[in-house]
A = this chain, B = another copy of it.
Amino acid sequence: MPMNPESRYDAILQKLRAHNLKLTPQRMAVAKILSRSEGHPGVERIHAQLKDAFPTMSLATVYRNVMLFKSLGEVLELGFPDGGNRYDGNKPYPHPHVVCVQCKAIIDPDLDSLKDMASEIAAETGFKVLTHRLDFFGICPKCQHSASQ
**Contact residues on A (Cβ < 8 Å of other chain), bracket:** 35 or more
Measured CA separation A78–B94 after assembly (Å)? 18
B140, A94: Cβ atoms closer than 8 Å = no
A33 to B113, CA, bound (A): 37
Chain B residues positioned under 8 Å from A118 (CB to CB)? 136
Of the candidates B82, B94, B99, B149, the one whose C-beta lies within 8 Å of that of A136 is B99
Asked whether, in the complex, the Cβ of A135 is within 8 Å of the Cβ of B133, the reply is: yes
Q: A residues near B, CB below 8 A?
A: 77-83, 85, 94-103, 105, 107, 109, 113-115, 117-118, 121-122, 125-144, 149
A sample of 22 cross-chain residue pairs with beta-carbon separation below 8 angstroms, ordered by A number, consists of A79-B81, A98-B136, A98-B137, A98-B138, A99-B136, A100-B139, A101-B137, A101-B138, A102-B139, A102-B140, A105-B143, A107-B140, A114-B117, A117-B136, A118-B136, A121-B138, A122-B138, A127-B136, A131-B138, A132-B135, A132-B137, A134-B135
